Amino acid sequence: MNSLNVQRLRKDFPILKKKVNGHNLIYFDSAATSQKPKQVIDGIKYFYENLNSNPLRSIHYLAERATEAYSDARDKVAKFINAAPEEIVFVRNTTEAINLLSFALPLAKDDIVATTYLEHHSNLLPWFNLRNKGVMVEIVDVDKNMDLDLSYYEDMSEKTKLVTLSHESNVSGTINDAKKISRIAHKKGAMVLVDAAQSVPHLPVDVKELDVDFLAFSGHKMLGPFGIGVLYVRKSISNQLSNFLSGGEMIKSVRLNDVVYADLPNRFEAGTQNIEGAYGLGLAIDYLNAIGMRNVEKYGHALALELFEKMGQIKGLEIYGGKSRNFGAIAAFNVKGLHSHDVAYFLDKKGIAIRSGFHCAQPFVEDKLRVNGACRASLYLYNTSHEIDTFCGELKKIVNTYGRG
């Protein structure tokens, strides 16, 4: 647990000084959204006070500075995942990125999209919507340890045009072997999309090493602001995609009888974008780079092991994660005899923030965990061993008072 100076780092997060119901805030809900360091908060204020203008459209001083800031943010994102800048498309979030692809990909009747049981609704519903034009959706199963059934990919049909999967599950915490799955899928002639919303904030991600065609993630889960996300598009296949939105700045020229569309990424960024969001995301990447993503990964792994070990000592808990070959600091669980919302309510009274319910993954929670909702504690680089101890201590009290362990 010594790879980060966490106590120093915590001083960068103003919200962690907050009291909730008279208790120090313990924020265990980073899978939903991360907290923001003052470097990002102050930076967005700086943008509005010093750079605010609409980029790419004017040649005055402020517009040129805003254009530079927007371009710099794209460069930072590209370098962060080892892509080319033109392969980075700014979107609102992971959900929009996946929906964009569901409209843009040339999928037709009898084509197959292979997704998985581990997925967030954002990587299910856009593909379900294609059923009305005859696209078939197949769901890759998981084993008792919540690992994907890799034999599916070895045996999948030649009609499979897209393989899509989460890099890290937002419920079980399973970290899937996206590199191996991508290699198999490409041999079968399928394209690969990885939902990296939970992985990019926590571990080094290299799109070239993974050899994926598309990768999507959200800024707000990695210390950045809301409303900014990223879709990586492999440049060599970008011409296979149809336009998603049409309007300003996604064209080279427009005449009444002839339109020439812009190249990647502009073709998929119609209209005025979330410029300050991109700027803020760039600052978040600066912050993570200063720490080092290997250090973030190492610390997160240590937190995960400690969290599952200490939760495992509490009788009366049902714990659903921590069993796969590789997992992150996401612990889904229930107190026997209590609904997940009740547990979350009791913890909130002690200043501990977790999430409860289906976690936008209802098929997985109902069909695989076989419960009507679950609690979820999810940790990040600003969490500590002391917080884990406090959390587990309060869980024990809840089990002893209300549970039926």
Annotated catalytic residues are 360
How crowded is residue 103: how many other Cβ atoms within 10 Å of its Cβ?
A: 15
Residue type, 249: E
42 Cβ contact list (under 8 Å, min separation 6): none
- Residue 249 CA to residue 254 CA, distance in Å, equals 11
- Structure-token pair, residue 124: 């299910």
Q: What is the DSSP letter of 222?
A: T
Nearest to 361 by CA among 132, 112, 166: 166
Residues 6+ positions from 210 with CB-CB distance below 8 Å: 178, 179, 182, 194
| Tokens at 194, concatenated | 């990885």
Residues forming a β-bridge with 195: 166, 216
- Whose tokens are 């976690």? That residue is 359
Closest C-alpha to 278, from 95, 91, 100: 91
